[in-house]
Amino acid sequence: MSDHTFSNFIEEIIENDLKGDFIREHLRFRFPPEPNGHLHIGHAKAICLNFGLSEYYRTPVNLRFDDTNPAKEEQTYVESIKKDIQWLGFRWNKECYTSDYFEQLYHWAQELIQEGKAYIDEQTQEEIIAQRKTPFESGIESLYRERPTQESLELFENMRSGKFEEGYCVLRAKIDMKAPNMNLRDPVMYRILKKAHQRTGKQWCIYPTYDWAHGQSDYIEQISHSLCSLEFDNHRPLYDWYLDQICKQGRIRPKQREFARLNLSHTIMSKRKLQRLIQEKTVTAWDDPRMPTLSGLRRRGYTAEAIRNFCQRIGIAKRENVIEVSLLEFSIREQLNKITPRVMAVLDPVKLIIENYPESQTEWLEAENNPEDPKAGARKIPFSKILYIEREDFMEIAPKKFFRLSIGSEIRLKNAYIIKGSGVLKDDDGKIIEIYAQYDPESRSGSGTEESLRKVKGTLHWVSAAHSIDIEARLYDQLFLVPAPEACKEEDFMNFMNPDSLKIVKGYGELSLKKAREGERFQFQRTGYFCVDRESSGERIVFNRTVTLKDSWAKENKNGPK
């Protein structure tokens, strides 16, 4: 409990309840996804809130699938949702389904009819909508509104037994057609849907609406605090009205409270729009590493811990927000810096030939695995005459702030020798195909010689050509060019796509990478954090770039006159 640092208005509400006659043991939370899509980082915010509260107060949290619409929901989503929550590191108390309460809900509905608080409306959907009018004027009452309760009761039974076609009638709560809040203008409680349900099969042909089901499910499960996003704010009076009808003395009455959902810059969160990215093949799948889905982030190399830290940092409040991706990136770098082994890999290779190094010699040099973690130990890496270095790490004539290789300048090859650039070989187009350098045999890293201690302009990563493995690196960048692609309502969000959200390059990795397995994470020194993708094959390991290292040189280049 003591390491709990966040504090927000939700917690404050709970603390205030606890100061009254509400006891800690009665605290209970729930996470209520609809099984109609995959979880994304926005859901992670809600998950961390509810499960976090549950951990803090040592009280149960239920996972409840809100499965009231068989037309949209599927069992596969249930599995995917459970997997993602577990991956995030949370455990629910009970796995619940709104469909488990269908019978109870039905009985409560019958009671409401009996009390004259609900009625069967036989008008068409169009008529009902028209009568509700707009928020700026009063609605009109249905001509079925005052029908005898017995008639409604029978009709309701017939609805259930399948005597009517879809859309023939609905059960409506009798509240107030003049209410400024549209949700109170006799909302629909049940509609006929002749679809088999993924769990109840053909048992039902009428299904409760969200409003009629949600608060009641909370009540059945004795959820104390039902937390949802801001757009349900207008539903709260209805939530409370329904609860007023069924709540019994001595039982916990759930309390709905609303917080702002997460918006992340340079991406989108809407399930429908995410779906469109897949349909239009802008991305490959739900778990494409560019997707803000939990499966996408996982495949990209994000850790659950980093996502949880992120959710902690963004806080909980009621105002609309757009969190900059840089905060997410900070969270993952923070962790990866601590845990990933460092390796060398060259992603845009050019040959570097050490002219004065013996032709057939190979030296095995010691390399530290992780300077942030002494326990990570060291490994041996092969050094030889022909190497690969990054094309951008060389310039024939360099500006003074270029701390890399150029003709006549000295730099260090990481974990190896100090070299001095001596020449280049170009093809007919003037493109450099080989770089030549001289090494100082006395300057070997870690040898302790005076030469090895010399200060040089910079340090480059490299790979021995004869001892390297082929790798494919998938370099991901933000999906959208603008911070809030959904903000502009006139323009299709697809127009803001970043055409370079994925770049695939072929490069060379150091030998030790040969045994890298799916999901394993590395820091490619000076380049970024990478994670082995499941599409790796025997010939070529595929690495997803989780995030780049911070690169103040690239930044300066972009800003500078060039």
Footprint on residues 228-247 left by RNA (CB under 7 A):
230-235
Name which position in 17, 18, 34, 305 contacts RNA (CB under 7 A).
34
Both tokens of 446, joined, read: 């870690």
Bridge-based pairing state of the strands 363-368 and 95-97: unpaired
Return phi, psi of residue 155, to 5°.
-60, -40
Residue among 166 and 492 whose Cβ is closer to RNA: 166
d(CA 344, CA 380): 12
Buried b (16+ CB within 10 A) or exposed e, 168-189: ebbbbbbbbbebeeebbbbbbb
Residues contacting 324, CB < 8 A, separation 6+: 265, 483
CB of 25 to RNA, least distance (A): 25
Both tokens of 138, joined, read: 């009063």
CB of 359 to RNA, least distance (A): 24
How far is the CA of 380 from the CAs of 214, 357, 361, 377, 417, in angstroms? 60, 19, 15, 11, 15
Is residue 377 near RNA by the rule CB under 7 A?
no
Cβ of 317: how many Cβ atoms within 10 Å?
A: 12
Is residue 371 near RNA by the rule CB under 7 A?
yes
Is residue 414 near RNA by the rule CB under 7 A?
yes
Is residue 181 near RNA by the rule CB under 7 A?
yes
Is residue 132 near RNA by the rule CB under 7 A?
yes
* 470 DSSP β-pair partners: 508
Name which position in 59, 209, 282, 284 contacts RNA (CB under 7 A).
209
d(CA 416, CA 408): 19
Is residue 320 near RNA by the rule CB under 7 A?
yes
Closest by CA to 190, choosing from 202, 208, 203, 215, is: 208
Name which position in 8, 86, 270, 275 contacts RNA (CB under 7 A).
8
Contact range with RNA by CB under 7 A, out of 249-257, 421-429, 444-452, 506-514: 444-452
Name which position in 281, 319, 431, 517 contacts RNA (CB under 7 A).
319
Residue among 395 and 535 whose Cβ is closer to RNA: 395
Residue 511, burial from CB neighbour count under 10 angstroms (0-12, 13-18, 19+): middle
Is residue 220 near RNA by the rule CB under 7 A?
no
d(CA 151, CA 27): 41
Name which position in 163, 313, 380, 506 contacts RNA (CB under 7 A).
313
Both tokens of 208, joined, read: 């409760």
Per-residue contact track with RNA, 91 to 130, x per CB under 7 A? Answer: --------------------------------xxx--xx-
d(CA 410, CA 437): 9
CB of 180 to RNA, least distance (A): 3
Contact range with RNA by CB under 7 A, out of 18-26, 39-47, 149-157, 407-415: 407-415
Is residue 152 near RNA by the rule CB under 7 A?
no
Closest by CA to 352, choosing from 289, 258, 439, 280, is: 439
Is residue 4 near RNA by the rule CB under 7 A?
no
Is residue 275 near RNA by the rule CB under 7 A?
no
Is residue 142 near RNA by the rule CB under 7 A?
no
Binding-site size for RNA (CB under 7 A) equals 94
**By the 8 A CB rule, do 14 and 53 touch?**
yes
CB of 473 to RNA, least distance (A): 15
d(CA 545, CA 473): 7
Name which position in 178, 251, 426, 555 contacts RNA (CB under 7 A).
555
Q: Please give the radius of gyration of the chain, using alpha carbons only, rounded to the nearest integer.
A: 31
Residue among 69 and 501 whose Cβ is closer to RNA: 69
Return phi, psi of residue 461, to 5°.
-90, 160
Is residue 478 near RNA by the rule CB under 7 A?
no
How far is the CA of 8 from the CAs of 14, 114, 310, 322, in angstroms? 10, 43, 15, 18
Name which position in 9, 162, 356, 442 contacts RNA (CB under 7 A).
9
HEC letters along 209-247? CHHHHHHHHHHHCCCCEEEEEHHHHHHHHHHHHHHHHHC
Residue among 348 and 535 whose Cβ is closer to RNA: 348
Is residue 321 near RNA by the rule CB under 7 A?
yes
SS3 471: strand
Contact range with RNA by CB under 7 A, out of 110-118, 244-252, 500-508, 551-559: 551-559
Is residue 401 near RNA by the rule CB under 7 A?
yes
Is residue 162 near RNA by the rule CB under 7 A?
no
CB of 538 to RNA, least distance (A): 28
Is residue 437 near RNA by the rule CB under 7 A?
no
CB of 126 to RNA, least distance (A): 8
- Which residues in 77-96 contact RNA (CB under 7 A)? none
Residue among 425 and 488 whose Cβ is closer to RNA: 488
Is residue 458 near RNA by the rule CB under 7 A?
yes
CB of 515 to RNA, least distance (A): 21
**In the Cβ-directed half-sphere of 377, how many Cα atoms lie within 13 Å?**
2
Residue among 464 and 523 whose Cβ is closer to RNA: 523
Catalytic sites, residue numbers: 34, 261, 271
- Which residues in 45-84 contact RNA (CB under 7 A)? 66, 68-69, 72
CB of 55 to RNA, least distance (A): 19
